[in-house]
Amino acid sequence: MPVSLVILAAGLGSRMNSDLPKVLHTLAGAPLLAHAMRAGAALGPERVVVVTGHGADQVASTARSENPDVLIAHQAGQLGTAHAVAQARTALDGFSGDVVVLYGDTPFVCVETLEAMREARARHAVVVLGFEAADPGRYGRLMMSGEQLERIVEFNDASAEERLITLCNSGVVCADSTTLFDLIDNVGNDNAKGEYYLTDIVALARKRGLSAGVVTCPESETLGINTRTELAAAEGAFQARARVEALETGVTLTAPETVFFALDTVIGRDAVIEPNVVFGPGVTIESGARIRAFCHLEGCHVSRGAVVGPYARLRPGAELAEDTRVGNFVEIKNAILDEGAKVNHLSYIGDAHVGERANVGAGTITCNYDGVMKHHTEIGARAFIGSDTMLVAPVRVGADAMTGSGSVITADVPDGALALARARQDNKSGLALRLMERLRAIKARKG
């Protein structure tokens, strides 16, 4: 049976104390909303609907960057979760299949859990995701009768006896589209908050003789983010899990607690990650590569046998081929290094292509920006760039060519040529001594 997603992302998130919509706060380098969308995407949904509210334009833009085909529904007033889901009705018009309701501030629900809910739908009209809470607190309670879920009681409406129940509601629901919206049409707001609760569809379904069931998951999957403290705890939980997964898949982490991953970090087996490495979004490290200590990487690809760092920075568009070397205090941005190329010390390579086995000396800079536009630098195979060379783009240094140390290269260098672009040295005999004596005398008079 086909499935669609409705992701609720309309909340203000006042306890975050932020101008940014809650679902756009980042976890592992990605907005909370992206985590929920990616978990649901693993189900292969026919349609994905994100319900916006506070900061609607920002939220919609983020949703579209994650999935260009996403459908946007808007909840003008915050009248409860049932009201929020109801806003997706138009976007799902003509859809026949199951709908899974997720939350943009709940990032850890696993695809295996969602698949279990889909399977349970073969036995129940409505399926709810529940968990056993160590401290039930203010969660809604799941009222069971054998294997049947009879109703969900919100904390504010629960009796003292009902509050003793530890089986709690995550808010995630799966139901047939027609059934879901039919039940929502009958939800009222006669409760402590005066809101239209999605949870009320369970009791309504049971009154109609429809079956309702529960799939349970670890409490850690249901963690919702409402405060910055909870966001920090979620970051810690994500990183701990990501480190374990990396180690279990054959990655060497010499100091795991100091390495930080993004949501989409991919690292091949037998790669070595040294201490204090930070991966931003969009990084792929192939098997056998080594990332040395204190590196920061984002939006880049590092091939087998490459060595990066220590203290290197790879920015978006950096593409390192096999057996390349990027050393200490080197920054690479939007540049390709072909096989065996070396940039070992104190250099900036931006908007460039460095040919195979080329060697870029210490202090080299590709001067790629004129204040308005970026320009490209081409360094040919086996070229040797002398230390402290300024390559003023657009410029090409040919294959097997060389530049003299301290040169400012403003014109193309032919293949095999040596380019010298610096002023001729002129030694003034004795001038250094006379100059220092004069300066010391001036200082003495001032003293």
DSSP code of residue 299: S
Query: Of 312, 345, 338, 343, which Cα lies nearest the Cα of 323?
Result: 338
Query: Which residues have CB under 8 Å from 283's CB, separation 6+?
Result: 262, 264, 265, 266, 297, 298, 299, 300, 301, 302, 314
Rounded to the nearest 10 degrees, what angle do helices 32-41 and 111-120 cross at?
50
Catalytic site residue from 345, 353, 375, 376: 345
| Burial zone of 257 (CB within 10 Å; 0-12 exposed, 13-18 middle, 19+ buried) | exposed
83 tagged catalytic: no
- C-alpha angle 53-125-212 in degrees, rounded to nearest 5: 90
Q: What angle do CA 101, 106, 111 make, to 5 degrees?
A: 65
Q: Following DSSP, what letter does each residue of 378-433 receive, concatenated?
A: EE-TT-EE-TT-EEESSEEE-TT-EE-TT-EE-S-B-TT-EE--SPPP---TTHHH
Distance CA 89, CA 104 (A): 18
Angular region, 180: left φ>0, alpha ψ -120 to 50, beta rest: alpha
In sequence order, the β-bridge partners of residue 215 are: 129
Q: How far apart are the first and last CA of the chain?
A: 90
- The HSE-up count of residue 158 (CA atoms within 13 Å, CB side) is 21
Q: Which residues contact 270 (CB under 8 A, 6 or more apart)?
A: 250, 251, 252, 287, 288
Q: Which residues have a catalytic role annotated?
A: 345
